[in-house]
Amino acid sequence: MECEHRMVYEGAVNVVIKGDVDGVVDVWKCTKCGKTAADMRRVGEPVLPDKVGMGQMGQIDRWGIIACSGNVAVEWHLILAPGSMQHSCNALGQCELEVDEGGNVRCDMGHIHKFHFISGHINSKLVIG
Ligand SMILES: [Zn+2]
Ligand SMILES: [Zn+2]
């Protein structure tokens, strides 16, 4: 049977780029099945609690950040590993990404994307660039 999730706030991860907090990942956990949902927001953007549980869910150790370093800026997206996805970013363009359970990234265009797990960084910071 599908779990009727009861989400509670688990904590936040501060995403740090070049010494500054660029954004925050909010993590929510179901008190029944233990699965987690995560949302990202840039610094200054409000939290959107109505979205909780609407997106993908997975065990906490599967969530991570894919960081895309272009010439000018670092861009980041929240994903679940392992998984494969169509990916598109302003930094590098479009590609097909595959992330294994160890967090290793394969990109069909040969782009440099780095993956960072967020577990272990909850209520702390994660430096991605
Ligand atoms: Zn649940
Ligand atoms: Zn990218």
Q: Is residue 37 scored above 80 in pLDDT?
A: yes
Q: Is residue 50 scored above 70 in pLDDT?
A: no
Which ligand sits nearest to residue 86's alpha carbon? Answer: 2
Give the separation between CA 107 and CA 126, rounded to whole angstroms.
Answer: 23
User: Residues whose CB is under 5 A from ligand 2 (ion)?
Assistant: 68, 89, 92
Using alpha carbons only, what angle is made at residue 52 by residues 129 and 26, rounded to the nearest 5 degrees? Answer: 30
- Whole-number Å distance, alpha carbon 87 to ligand 2 midpoint, is 6
Which ligand sits nearest to residue 30's alpha carbon? Answer: 1
Average pLDDT over residues 82-94: 92
- Whole-number Å distance, alpha carbon 89 to ligand 2 midpoint, is 4
- Percent of the chain whose predicted confidence (pLDDT) is above 90: 75
Predicted confidence band of residue 54 (pLDDT cuts 50, 70, 90):
low
- Whole-number Å distance, alpha carbon 111 to ligand 2 midpoint, is 8
Q: Which residues of 51-61 are buried (b: 16+ CB within 10 A; e: fewer)?
A: ebeeeebeebe
- Whole-number Å distance, alpha carbon 30 to ligand 1 midpoint, is 5
What's the predicted TM-score (pTM) here?
Answer: 0.88
Among the listed residues 72, 77, 74, the one whose alpha carbon sits nearest the alpha carbon of residue 116: 77
The pLDDT assigned to 112 comes to 87
- Whole-number Å distance, alpha carbon 31 to ligand 1 midpoint, is 7
Specify the higher pLDDT residue, 53 or 122.
122
